[in-house]
């Protein structure tokens, strides 16, 4: 599944980590919106926010030409401008980010963290996106795939080691499903484009990004399933949850949020009502 990573999930494999990197985003002024009175960070953060990100997961966060990019990075920079503080994006190994937020190494964790009740026991979440599993297929096909049962009688391409592979193979125990696993996402895409597989199966926003980059070769089919919220993470009692929530609400209300998601082709995961600690399980 997606970077749910409560039960560690597979990467999409579009890009690889290029090592440790620190990127600074320029700060801007506050916003005159309905949430403006909440767009103030506690004084201890006036010098800026250090955001931990595992920049190996396109289109969410990854390294391109020496810079951390992706829709999470764009949201982080937009939030910094709204809050009027410098945001420093710090590339870090995923498993070190929550401990780093707890012990103060990072002020914010922004790395496609799925909001879970277990994680809420350690940190606070500000939810901003929903992701799950999704299908994509050749643009000129008339077949429709929606949910795991729709794989019955078909051949599906997946990346090796992902939850999508496990889910497709589990479905294959209930009906006939041919699962073609590949070592990277490019090979998975090729299997769909050349007809060896009728459908590709990846994280929902990754599927959307594949379609976005395909120049009309692929299209999404069905709706994402097994979805869960992603959230920024902050230390409990840090005083950052409310300002971050106000910033996300402002980005949604003024259209910047949708513009950022549209730019990365991941608008399918947009939400309209961000909350603090919104996990259901």
Residue 197 is predicted with a pLDDT of: 98
Buried b (16+ CB within 10 A) or exposed e, 10-42: bbbbbbeeeeebebebebeebbebebeebbbbe
Residue 163 is predicted with a pLDDT of: 85
Domains of the chain: 22-131+228-269 (3.40.190.10), 132-226 (3.40.190.10)
From 70, 75, 31, select the one nearest 231 (Cα to Cα): 75
From 85, 84, 119, 76, select the one nearest 101 (Cα to Cα): 119
Q: Copy the structure tokens of residue 194.
A: 């050349």
Q: Identify any residues that bridge with 68 across adjacent strands, giving them in sequence order.
A: 63
CA distance 63 to 213: 17
Q: What is the pTM of this model?
A: 0.81
Residue 21 is predicted with a pLDDT of: 53
Helix, strand or coil for residue 225?
A: strand
Residue 2 is predicted with a pLDDT of: 45
Residue 12 is predicted with a pLDDT of: 37
CB distance 23 to 89 below 8 Å: yes
CB distance 246 to 35 below 8 Å: yes
Residue 17 is predicted with a pLDDT of: 29
Helix, strand or coil for residue 263?
A: helix
Residue 228 is predicted with a pLDDT of: 93
From 149, 162, 248, 261, select the one nearest 205 (Cα to Cα): 261
CA distance 71 to 68: 10
Residue 23 is predicted with a pLDDT of: 55
Helix (H), strand (E), coil (C) string for 155-221: EEEEECCCHHHHHHHHHCCCCCCEEEEECCHHHHHHHHHCCCCCEEEEEHHHHHHHHHHCCCCEEEE
Residue 217 is predicted with a pLDDT of: 97
**Mean pLDDT of successive 10-residue stretches along the chain, which has 281 residues:** 38 36 49 61 96 94 95 98 97 94 98 94 98 97 96 96 92 98 92 98 95 96 95 97 98 98 96 96 91
Which phi and psi (to 5°) does residue 91 adopt? -75, 130
CB distance 135 to 222 below 8 Å: yes
CA distance 6 to 116: 7
The CA-based diameter of the chain, rounded to the nearest angstrom, is 60
């Amino acid at each position: 599944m997606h970077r749910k990573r409560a039960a560690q999930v597979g990467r999409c494999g579009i890009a690889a980590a290029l090592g440790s990197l620190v990127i600074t985003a320029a700060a801007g002024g506050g916003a005159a919106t309905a949430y403006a009175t909440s767009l103030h960070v506690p004084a201890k953060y006036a010098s800026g926010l250090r955001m931990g990100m595992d920049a190996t997961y396109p289109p969410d966060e990854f390294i391109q030409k020496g810079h951390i990019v992706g829709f999470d990075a764009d949201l982080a920079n937009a939030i910094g401008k709204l809050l009027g503080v410098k945001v420093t994006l710090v590339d870090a190994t995923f498993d070190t980010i929550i401990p780093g937020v707890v012990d103060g190494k990072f002020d914010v964790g922004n790395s496609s963290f799925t909001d879970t009740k277990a994680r809420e026991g350690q940190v606070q979440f500000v939810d901003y996106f929903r992701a799950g599993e999704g299908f994509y297929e050749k643009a000129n096909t008339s077949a429709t795939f929606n949910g795991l049962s729709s794989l019955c009688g078909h051949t599906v391409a997946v990346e090796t080691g992902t939850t999508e592979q496990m889910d497709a193979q589990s479905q294959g125990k209930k009906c006939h499903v041919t699962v073609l696993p590949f070592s990277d996402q490019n090979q998975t895409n090729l299997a769909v484009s050349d007809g060896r597989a009728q459908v590709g199966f990846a994280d929902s926003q990754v599927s959307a990004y594949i379609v976005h980059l395909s120049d009309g070769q692929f299209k999404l089919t069905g709706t994402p399933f097994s979805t869960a919220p992603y959230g920024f993470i902050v230390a409990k009692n840090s005083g950052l949850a409310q300002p971050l929530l106000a910033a996300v609400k402002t980005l949604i209300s003024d259209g910047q949020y949708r513009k950022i998601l549209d730019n990365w082709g991941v608008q399918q995961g947009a939400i309209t009502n961000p909350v603090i600690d919104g996990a259901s399980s």
